[in-house]
Amino acid sequence: MAGSTYGNIFKITTWGESHGKALGVVIDGCPAGISLSIEDIQSFLNRRKPGQSKYTTQRNEADQVDILSGIFEGKTTGTPISLVVYNKDQHSADYSEISQCYRPGHADYTFDKKYGFRDYRGGGRSSGRETIGRVAAGAIASKILKELGISVLSYSKEIAGIAIDNEKFNANEILNNPMYMPDADAAKQAESVAQQKMAEMDSVGGIIECKVFGMPVGIGEPVFEKLDANLSKAVMSIGSVKGVEIGDGFAVAKSSGSTDNDGFEINNGEIIKTSNHAGGILGGMSDGSEIILRAAIKPTPSIAQTQKTVNKSGENIDINIKGRHDPMIVPRAVVVVESMVAITLVDALFTNMSSQMDKIIDFYK
């Protein structure tokens, strides 16, 4: 069942349930010599922290991270970095009644069938809180990318059917609005639609977009470990993601080769692509253009409306889910997508280092 470890060389192992004592992550394979502070990690965690606005749950989850190993005198030592966030405000009582039934859109039923029983407090391991470990590790991966001149930008592209206007795209706006949208007008509209849905005790979905700048050419492996294949797994492994696409994505289905192919040209002595339908990846390897990825996020399954379901005694019942739940997953998932992408890129960069004998000889000179 070992499915809580991700990555080959840069490897993370997450653990923890929403209402257990703590959640955390062990990052193994982090190179030595990187300056790393609690603030580096906390700033990432704060982007997924609830209670930031009226559109996110009002639970007061402090989510303060502690570093237990792997850092010495402010630098990574090359040994595993263990990070922990203690659960504080758990309100277990809110959840006790769901222990006997299966919430629609949740993993209650599949968990029970797989393991024979489940930790029913707040979703247990399949809670959104599981992503705390991913984001903490993502903060470290992002530091590594920064050292290599690579950056990842993520944001909400569409919420409740309201998409950003590319003409108004402003990266600085992303952290200014509770929707994490790079377009203030779209963000306001999306807020308004979301408020209406909340009033109807309903929830909304959306699309997250992620762009990578500065990736060297040739990263990723040409067959099963294609860069786009691993990015897809990374992003699809986030709860509530139902689709992933690279570059033009599903639009290629209606495209033609003459349009979809990106030409090459020499520009100031450098090879560049004249367009980027491929989204920065050719044959599973980065092509020097920006990498573009989108993820479809489903609406929050926990809604206050009465829903039809069954209980463990085999009876059809009505369920009213209590507790405090976000009417949308998208904004808080933005940093989770960014983290999974960063982790995947770091692993690909490290894996790539032994591709050419000449470079290996240089390395060991």
Residues 34-73 that bind a copy of itself (CB under 8 A): 34, 66-70, 72
Residue with smaller CB distance to a copy of itself, 172 or 257: 257
Degrees to nearest 5, angle at CA 229 with 145 and 5: 70
CB 323 within 8 A of CB 95: yes
Supply the minimum distance, in Å, between the C-beta of residue 169 and a copy of itself. 18
Residue with smaller CB distance to a copy of itself, 163 or 172: 163
Residue with smaller CB distance to a copy of itself, 172 or 230: 230
- The site for a copy of itself, by CB under 8 A, has a size of 164
CB 341 within 8 A of CB 131: no
Residue 93: burial class (beta carbons within 10 Å; 0-12, 13-18, 19+): exposed
Closest alpha carbon to 15 in 94, 68, 75, 73: 68
* Four-residue CA torsion sign, 156, 161, 162, 163: positive
Residue with smaller CB distance to a copy of itself, 80 or 323: 80
Token couple for 245: 């696409």
Supply the minimum distance, in Å, between the C-beta of residue 106 and a copy of itself. 7
The tally of CA atoms less than 13 A away on the side-chain side of residue 305 is 14
Subset of 97-126 contacting a copy of itself (CB under 8 A): 102, 104-107, 109-111, 113-119, 121, 124-126
**Beta bridge partner(s), residue 72:** 75
Asked if residue 279 binds a copy of itself (CB under 8 A), the reply is: yes
Q: Residues 205-234 vs a copy of itself: string with x where CB under 8 A?
A: xxx--------xxxx-xxxxxx-xxxxxxx
Residue corresponding to tokens 């090879």: 271
Residue with smaller CB distance to a copy of itself, 172 or 358: 358
Residue with smaller CB distance to a copy of itself, 185 or 264: 264
Q: Which amino acid is at 135?
A: V
Supply the minimum distance, in Å, between the C-beta of residue 122 and a copy of itself. 12
Asked if residue 331 binds a copy of itself (CB under 8 A), the reply is: no
**Beta bridge partner(s), residue 152:** 212
Residue with smaller CB distance to a copy of itself, 86 or 169: 86
The terminus-to-terminus CA distance of the chain in angstroms comes to 42
Supply the minimum distance, in Å, between the C-beta of residue 231 and a copy of itself. 8
Residue with smaller CB distance to a copy of itself, 167 or 365: 365
**Chosen residue from 160, 210, 337, 341 binding a copy of itself by CB under 8 A:** 160
Asked if residue 9 binds a copy of itself (CB under 8 A), the reply is: yes
3-state secondary structure of 317: strand
In sequence order, the 6+-apart residues with CB closer than 8 A to the CB of 151 are: 145, 212, 213, 214
Supply the minimum distance, in Å, between the C-beta of residue 190 and a copy of itself. 12
Supply the minimum distance, in Å, between the C-beta of residue 197 and a copy of itself. 6
In sequence order, the 6+-apart residues with CB closer than 8 A to the CB of 18 are: 87, 90, 121, 122, 123, 124, 125, 127, 128, 129, 130
- Taking CB under 8 A as the binding criterion, the range among 44-52, 88-96, 164-172, 259-267 that sits at the site for a copy of itself is 259-267
- Taking CB under 8 A as the binding criterion, the range among 44-52, 56-64, 171-179, 300-308 that sits at the site for a copy of itself is 300-308
Supply the minimum distance, in Å, between the C-beta of residue 242 and a copy of itself. 5
Integer angstrom CA distances of residue 180 from 132, 184, 202, 206: 18, 9, 20, 12
Asked if residue 263 binds a copy of itself (CB under 8 A), the reply is: yes
